[in-house]
Amino acid sequence: MNNEVLEDRIAQMAFAPLAEVAEWLGRFTWVEVERGDGYVTARTPEMTVGIAGSGVDPVNQAVQLAFVFAGTCWPYVFPGLLRRVNRIWKEERTK
């Protein structure tokens, strides 16, 4: 999977319900997913990332997801992520 495809998928998942996010992350064999009440914990070999549920704006949700895949290097691995999220968010608000 190339970075642009994953970047686009992360942007889409930033708007998805938490249960769908947990299911998606669970498909990756190197991610251990633990579901809590209103949050998901994703453990990777490099770090543990908490992903909040409702009340988190899509930009922050995308950043949390990007950390799962690229850690602190996410801005370099997914340089267009925030632009994609903002474009989708704008489209969602104008519907």
pLDDT at residue 84, rounded to an integer: 96
Please give the model's pTM, rounded to 2 decimal places.
Answer: 0.92
pLDDT digits (tens, 9 = 90+) for 34-49: 999 999 999 999 999 9
93 pLDDT above the threshold of 90 = no
pLDDT at residue 92, rounded to an integer: 85
pLDDT at residue 94, rounded to an integer: 85
pLDDT digits (tens, 9 = 90+) for 32-88: 999 999 999 999 999 999 998 878 899 999 999 999 999 999 999 999 999 999 999
What number of CA atoms fall less than 13 Å from residue 18's CA on the CB side?
Answer: 19
Domain ranges of the chain: 3-88
Distant-in-sequence, close-in-space partners of 89: CB < 8 Å, separation ≥ 6: 15, 58, 59
Strands (E), the chain: 32-35, 39-43, 48-52
1 pLDDT above the threshold of 70 = no
Bridge partner residues of 48 (DSSP) = 43
CA distance 79 to 7: 9
